[in-house]
Each structure stands twice: as structure tokens, then as C-alpha cells.
Chains A and B, each alone.
Chain A
Amino acid sequence: MSQECLRVEHIQKAYTEGFVAIKDASLTVRQGEIHGLLGENGAGKSTFVKILSGLLGRDGGTFTLCGVPASPSSQEEAARLGIIKLQKRSGLVPSLTVEENILLGRQKNSLAPLDRAQMRREIGALLEEFAMDPAPQDLAKNLTAEDALETELLKAYYAGAKLVILDEPASYFTIAQTEELFALLRKLAAKGIAILYVSNQVREMLELCENITVMEGGVTTGEYAAADMTLRRLQNRMVRENKPEKVRWTRPQRGETVLKVRDLSIFRGEAHQAVQKVSFSVRAGEILAIIGKPDSGARELCEVIAGLTPAVAGRVTVFDDDITADSVRGARELGVSFLLSSPQRIGVAPSLSIQENLLPYQYTNPAYRNHGLLDQEKLRQEAQRLVQEYDIRCASVEENASVLSTSSAQKLLAAREFSNEPVLLVAYQPTFGTSEETAAFLEKKLLELRDEGTAILLVPTDLDEFAAIADSALVLYQGSITAYLPKVTGKEELDPYISGERRMTQEELEAVCFE
């Protein structure tokens, strides 16, 4: 009954340096079906999805869309064909309203005046139909992450998409929000849109998808109907043979209190509080994890402790030295290191050499100078030592940092931040975008650093990392702490705190404020 929407067979893709990302991948998605693409990190899912959405070209294989051969060479072309991939970063224009965003690019004559009244009617009806929260006139920048994603889905539907690709959208949503998202996805599928849901979470897949394609090591190993599979069987399908060894957690040796944060308030924009009156402490030799949704304020918190942005009220002290008003330099002089990942990767300058990126502290250190000039030999030796220790893959330390792969760049950042014997390390998603191998390596390094007595404030990249290395945890919901867990246990019991449904009492929360 249902027709094929997309059929790709035997796709291959090799990157320029000879590394084969996709060896043989096939996928069939039918109209009105929610199809899962399941695989571990590094299985080649994202490359495969990039090929499907036109961002990358393919080296071999066939590509048919609704029975017609197609080969989109750019994202625009893919979108015109009806394949829309939702990005991890929001694809909405912040300063436009919801209705303007949905109607973006839909005008035939783009120079004719917009018919606002009709726009409002149409989009209002659409939002009504799907029972969505945001009003047509809400500005996109004020939407929550879930509402923004749902608006994007509606935009794709309104644009007449045939296939919508979602790349790991739910990895940070809690169960309540994923329910809402799944309901919307099912409604869209009922309208005849095919949905490709890419994730490494088996549970989600089983709940949402009708059929699941499993991918591992750049090869799709098979397609299974969700109804026939159990959690265990599916999990077994996606396990890789030479999986890097998981880091082993050890009991922390806690020391004195290093970082004290008291009543900290941070603002995002004019009057929106990103963090409200947050208080906690981190002791030497422990890893305190902060978890929450992407908009929970954890990033702002880290930036303020690092001195990158100013706080509005409250106090941050390191060994009783007040660093609230200090700049980055002041914080660093007290021995605070930080590793803040972001898609833009703010810590690496691509046009400087690897050595220059690796050693900013040594360049400004008189010990590395000779008659007032920089001691090139000493610097090079130091750089080479770090490159070897952290396994940064490069031909020489003189190369520009732009040649580094994402994993190596992250290792470079880590080498820089970990090597100057920090008292306190603020790590925001330290393994963001890296391969599994690198992630395991960095996690191991973090644990080593902890055992040497560094206090670590960690915002984990994903829940696996959280479970692997965190000693205790704070849960942040919309800028305030909802839970403090002296010991880390499973994910499910955290969910009500992450979604803000439950909140610990004041006394329980004050347990984290050591003096």
C-alpha cells in the first residue's frame, strides 16, 4: 500500500585522505513511515545522513526518490527535491516570528507584498491542527528548544517535504518532551511524510519507529521491523567488535573545597535569567557533574566561572579568592583551566600553527625566553611532548591547526588545558563531536587529573559519559538547581528533576555547599 519514498543502495564514501567512512550502505524508507537509523557513535551515521541530504557527494551507489533517480549535489537541491534535514543547531531565523519562519521562502513572487492577514490565518490553522504551543507571532529566539524543533518540523511539512531527517534530536530531551515530539512525528507520518530518525538510543527507536536499519562500521547490516525486536536483540546487533575499552571509575579521594559558587545569577539577553541564585561547591579530587537540558544554563554557568562573561549577582571564589569580577586572565592566574566545547570551537585558531595553539601559556612565560626572544627549540620540544602524550595526529607541529580533525583539535584543547596543572578544571562537554576512541581517552585523562587532586566541574557530553566518570551530580532546570546527588545512579530517577517536575528541598540542596 505505502509507496517507496527513498531508496538508496550500496552507497560508498571515502574522505580525501583515504579513510573510508561509508563502505556499503543501503536504506529504504516508505511514505508515511518513521524509519530508524541506529548505530553507535562513529558508525558512519552522520556521514550517511550528509550524503542523503546533499551536503556531501557520494562515491558510488544508487539514489532514487519516489521511483525517480536523483542525485542532489547541494542541500538546497535536496530541499527542493523534498529531502529536508533538521540541523542540530536551530534552523530558525531568530528575529522572525514563528509564522514568518514557516512561510520563509514560500512566496512565489518574492517582491510582492506579504499578505499578513492570510499568513496569520493559515499558520494559525496549521498550529491548531497539530496542537502546538507557540503562537504565530512569537519570536523564534524566545522559543524553547523543543518548541523550536517542532516549529522546524512544521516548516518542513508546510514546505511539502517528502522525507524529513532528524539527527539525534532526543539525546538531551527528557522523557516527557520526547513524548510530545514523538506524538508530533506520528501525526506528520500520518500525513504521508517519511521520517528518518537517526540515533544511538535503542529504547527510543523501539518506541517510535516502525522499521529500523542498523549501521555499524560504515556498513548497514540489516533492516528490522520494530515489532519483531526486543531491546536486547537490537542492542546485540549494533555492538562493534573492537569497541574501545570503557574507562573504569574509581572512588574519589576528596580534599578541601576549591570552588565555591554562592547565589550566582546570570542573565541571557535583556531580562531573562539564565541562572538564578545557584550555590554549590566543588572539592579537590572530585568530579561534580551538572546535568540538564541544553537551555538549563549550564553553559552560562561555566562561562562565568571561566571569566568569559560577567555575572550579575553572586560570588565565585577559588580557594577563597574572589574571581567573580575577574577576566579570563585573573581566573587563569589562580589555576583555573577550562575546556568549553562549542560547534564554533572557540579555543582553536585555525590559521595559527599547532605549536602556537598548544602553548599560549608557554609563549607568555619568561622561562621560555632566551635573551628576550622566544626560545624556539624549547618550545618545539614542549609541543612535541604534548603532541605525543595526547596523540594529536599531525605531520608536524608547524602545520596550521586547520588541518586537524575534530577529535585531534579537541585533544589539542585538552592537552593545553590539562597540562598546566590546574587547581580547578571547568569542562563543558569535553568530548563533543569526537570519536569514541578519543572520548574514552579524554575521559581517562579527566579521571587521572581528578586523582592528582584537581577539582573538576563537568558538564557531560552525554549520559554515558556522565555515568562513566561523574562522582556526584547537580541537576539544573531553567537556571536553578533541582537536585543534588552525592552519588551517581541511573538515568530514570533523574528525569523528573531534569524536566523540572520535582525539586529537592532547600536542606537537601544546601548539602552541596561545603565551606
Chain B
Amino acid sequence: MNKINEKFPPSAQRKLTAGLVGILVCLLTILLFEEKRGESLRTFFLMPLGSLQELGELVAYATPMVFVALATALVFQCRRYSLSMIGSFMLSACLTTGFLLLGNEQPAWYLVPSALVISILAGAGAAAIPAALSIRRRVNITISSLILDFLILQLTSFILSNYMWDPAAGQSASFEIPERLWLPEILPALGLRFGFLLAAAAVVLLYLLLYRGRLGYEIRAVGASESMAGYVGLSYGKTVMAVQLLAGALAGLGGAVEMMGVQPRYIWDGSFPTVALLGILAAVVAGYRPLWIPLSCLFFGYLWRGGVLLNESTGFPVEVPLFAAAVMVLLLLAMRDLDVFRAAAGLFQKKQAGDAPAQGMPPAATQPQTAPRRAAKRPAKAKQQKTDAKLPADVPDGSEGVEEG
């Protein structure tokens, strides 16, 4: 057992378990509520991986998500839990669409870079408002950013229905952005566009910033303990502002990448874009670590692509992947300090000994939650005693759910 733990650390075990549960949730929902089971399952699970074209589509779906996830990781590492990346994403997507549609006559070499700049500015601008309120006026950044998100939601649907609405599109959606204004293709076989390169660069840059740079140290110090940061004289306001602006800019860029090549119509009338919400969840799954984010985004992108394909063929609710992702992340939180393999082995041995109650374990979601708690009790207690003699926790949120050392 120890050998396994060495090669495959508990944190990875937990993530794997959560991922399996996510897939299981999708599977069960489809099995329960869809009539044409076999075909639906094939559509959901196999079609996104079916061809090179589809694979490229999957990666394209995941690309904007990476931006939102990176923004979330940045903000959450600093522990200023603002949710303005949703608003930044929407605002910049909406403004980019509007800009490109209005300036349709101009040449592409002018429009495309300007659209990217606009998206960055719009994203950073949307994030700056709650940040400024929180730094200068001590307004709770979580609520103010959420309220701002709803404000932007209404604003964008106003812009959509009054200026960009395409009556021929069926449901409420904007006119399509002409293909010449999309980001240039870099890998035609897969259909990958320039946005992919941008995302990859953002991942690497953010990693360097967070773990190899001075600002990153300040961000993590402010996040780890605000009192410690104040004690050593790091300027708290500047750090928080920088984080929020950077996160807003990233999310905004994600909005532009989404519009210019992935989803050429602006379609979010009155509801939040799934890609932004999935991006937040992906960041939590990756433990706010930039290098893990592409992986979790690809996984969520896979589920999401399946959901979209299924929705197109049978009209099955497109929220299934999002639901599965939420369940997954909650499960990950619940398992925080758990050694999954050991706990499972403990449970298995207990069952063999015959003293386990013969109850029908509810499948999937509850099993890893209830079972290992019993097995994990002892280490937890030992840990508690250890910390008694040790350093008292610093701030109320001194420990983090899915973060591992």
C-alpha cells in the first residue's frame, strides 16, 4: 500500500476518484432519464473522441475554459474570493462580438488585434470595480463581484436583444461573426486556432509568475495569511489589485478566444456561460495550480462536448456535464485529507471480516464520502493532537480544501 502511495500520491488518488465519480454521474443520469440508452451513451462518451476533427473541437472547447480557470486560480490563491471572472468573460465576449459585427467593413488585420485589446480591457475593467471597492472601502468582494456579475448579465442581454439579435437564428443569439475575423488557424488538421497558443503561453507565464516571481510570492503570502503579509510589510492593496486586474484580463481574453473561433454567436441571454462556470470548477480541481489546469480543463471539455453533442441529437439537458463537475468538486472537498486507496482497502477488509453492515451502499456519490471517514478517523485525531503542541492556525481560513503541499 505504501508503495502505491509513493508512486501515486493521495492527492492524485483523490482526483482520480473524483474524476471517475464525475463520469459515473453522467452515466447514471443518462441511463435513468434517456430512452435510447446505448446510442446516447455512445454520443456522449465516444463521439467527442471519435475523429481528429472532433478531438480538435474538444480542445477548442477547453481553450477559453483554461483562461477562466487560470483567472480563478490566481484569485483563489490570493484568497480574495471574487467571482468577477464570470462577468469579465461575458462582458468581453459581448463587447468583442459587438465590435467585430459593427466594424465588419474594416480589414481583419486591424479588427482582430483590436478585438483582443478590447477584450482584455473590458475584462480587467469589470474586475476592477469590486477590487477597488474591496481595497478602498472594505466591501466584501465576493458579494460585490456576484452582484456585478448579475448586472453584467442583464447588460449583455440588453445589448444582445437590442443591437446584435439575429432574428434568423432561432433562439436568442447574435449575428454570426464572419469567419475571416476569427483567430487564425495554426493546425488545420485539428482545427486548432491561435487561441490555443495563447492559452498555452498563459499557463506557462502564470506558472512562472506565481512560483518564480516576486509578485507571485506576494500573492501567495497575502493569500496564505493576510496578517503575515501585513507583518512583513507587503503592500496588500497593490497585490490584490494586481491579482484582480490580471485575472480580469485573462478571463476577458478567454471571452475573445471563445467568440473568435469557438462559438461565433453570442448566445447567453439571461444565463451564465457554462464555459465560465466550468472554468471555475476546473481551477478548484487542479488545486489552483496553473500546470494542472489544462488537464482538468480538457477533462471538463470532454464531458461538456459530450453534453453538447447529446443535446443536439436528442435534446437532453445540456447541464449534465456541469452538474457532474459540481458533484465532482464537492466530493473532492469532502475527501480533503483522505487516503483513498488505503481507506478503500480498509473498508474491503472490514467487509471480509463480516462485521460490515449489509446495507446497500448507495452508488457513487456517497460511497467514498461515508466509508473512508471511519477508516480515516484515527489519523485525523493524531493530527489534531499534534497540532495542539504546534503552531496554532493563523487565520480562520488557514487551511485549504484541495490544496496540497
- Which A positions have Cβ atoms within 8 angstroms of B? 15-17, 21, 50, 55-57, 307-308, 327-329, 331-332, 340, 343-353, 356-357, 360-361, 363-364, 369, 372-374, 376, 399-406, 409, 416
Contact = CB atoms under 8 A, between A and B. Distances in A.
Interface of B: 208, 212-214, 217-218, 220-221, 224-225, 227-235, 382, 385-394, 398-400, 403, 405
Contacts of B389: 15, 21, 405-406
A346 B231 contact: yes
Contact of A364 (B212, B218, B230): B218
Nearest to B227: A346
Contact of B392 (A57, A327, A344): A344
Contacts of A399: 405
B391 A369 contact: no
The dominant DSSP class at the B interface is helix
B394 A374 contact: no
23 contacts: A56-B388, A328-B230, A346-B225, A347-B232, A348-B228, A348-B391, A349-B224, A349-B228, A350-B394, A351-B403, A352-B224, A356-B220, A360-B217, A363-B214, A363-B217, A364-B234, A374-B212, A374-B213, A374-B214, A374-B217, A400-B405, A404-B391, A406-B389
A404 B387 CA distance: 9
B212 A401 contact: no
Given A360-B232, A364-B214, A350 B386 contact: no
A400 B400 CA distance: 13
Nearest to A403: B390
- Among A17, A340, A360, the most chain B Cβ lie within 10 Å of the Cβ of A360
Contacts of B387: 402
A353 B217 CA distance: 11
Given A56-B385, A345-B392, A345-B394, A357 B228 contact: yes
The interface centre, meaning the residue of A308, A351, A373 with most chain B CB atoms within 10 A of its CB, is A351
A348 B394 contact: yes
Contacts of A348: 225, 228, 391, 394
Contact of B398 (A55, A350, A364, A376): A350
Contacts of B403: 351
A356 B217 contact: yes
Closest 5 CB pairs of A and B: A349-B225, A349-B224, A329-B233, A328-B233, A346-B227
Contacts of A353: 405
Contacts of B227: 344, 346-347
B231 A328 contact: yes
Given A373-B212, A402-B390, A15 B225 contact: no
B214 to A, nearest CB: 6
A351 B392 contact: no
Given A55-B388, A348-B228, A351-B398, 18 more contacts: A56-B385, A56-B388, A308-B230, A328-B230, A343-B392, A344-B394, A345-B391, A346-B394, A347-B232, A348-B225, A350-B225, A353-B405, A356-B217, A360-B232, A363-B214, A374-B212, A402-B387, A405-B389
A332 B217 contact: no
B236 to A, nearest CB: 10
A239 B228 CA distance: 38
B385 A351 contact: no
Contacts of B224: 349-352
A401 B208 contact: no
Nearest to A19: B389
A92 to B, nearest CB: 20
Contact of A16 (B386, B393, B394): B386
Given A351-B403, A356-B221, A373-B208, A361 B232 contact: yes
B288 to A, nearest CB: 12
A311 B399 CA distance: 33
A373 B217 CA distance: 11
Contacts of B228: 346-349, 352, 357
Which one of A17, A348, A369, A403 has the greatest number of beta carbons of chain B within 10 Å? A348
Contacts of A347: 227-228, 231-232
Nearest to A347: B231
A237 B313 CA distance: 87
Given A350-B225, A351-B400, A409 B391 contact: yes
Contacts of A374: 212-214, 217
User: Which of B228, B385, B393 has most A Cβ within 10 Å?
Assistant: B228
B391 A373 contact: no
Contacts of A55: 388
Nearest to B216: A374
A416 B231 CA distance: 12
